[in-house]
Amino acid sequence: MSAQSPYRSPAQATAGYPAAQMAAKDVLFSFNGRIPRRTFWLWYLGSSIAFSLICGILIGVASLTIKPPTGKESASATPSASSSALPGPDSAVPAPSSSTDSSSTPVEFDPSQQELPAAFLAVLGVCGLLAIPMFWIVLALLAKRWHDRGKPAVWILIYLIPFVGAVWTLIECGCLRGTVGPNEFGADPT
């Protein structure tokens, strides 16, 4: 074992490690090889945050195109001053106000009657399409982490077991070190 020189450049210091030489497209889209925990967490969190920000901004901007509900006004739902009956489950309760203007008339809201603007539906479609490569990226990262642990990528399926699978995957892929030295999936990336 040779001592590492503190005077070498970072490129020279990581030249012998396969994970350092793996291109970003290989890390994100390939199911071959091994990656260490640090690489897994950086790419997983980075891509998840980027996806969330993009879709959040798009949905936020598109939601500005949604008009507030303008439901039907019901005169029979407004209790009169002489009425002492309490409103039933099918009647609308007016908002308390000191004046009797038309703005205090209750508005019934039926979400099934609300139409979403085409821009909002288009943004949801774009986010759905962006979810496809995001899903692929997560699968590729998990496959390489399972490889680093010395297990085949089919172990990704353990994630399908409710709760236990998610915890198991988090511990195995996110917390535990990979096998020391080379294994059947490649050289040690750390």
Q: How confident is the model at residue 149 (pLDDT cuts 50, 70, 90)?
A: very high
Do residues 149 and 158 make contact, with C-beta atoms less than 8 angstroms apart? no
Whole-angstrom Cα distance, residue 129 to residue 117? 19
Specify the residue for token string 């409710």.
162
pLDDT of residue 104: 58
Q: Is the pLDDT of residue 15 over 70?
A: no
Residue range 86-107: average pLDDT?
A: 56
Q: Is the pLDDT of residue 55 over 50?
A: yes
Contacts of 103 (CB under 8 A, 6+ apart): 97
Rounded mean pLDDT of the chain?
Answer: 79
Taking the alpha carbons at both ends of the chain, their separation in whole angstroms is: 15
Neighbour tally for 107: CB within 10 Å: 15
Q: Which of 30, 54, 57, 66 is nearest to 141 (CA)?
A: 30
Q: Which of 54, 61, 62 is nearest to 129 (CA)?
A: 54
pLDDT of residue 119: 82
Tokens standing for residue 26: 């290989």
Residue range 101-123: average pLDDT?
A: 68
Q: What is the pLDDT of residues 20-38, one digit of tens each?
A: 578 999 999 999 999 999 9
pLDDT of residue 42: 96
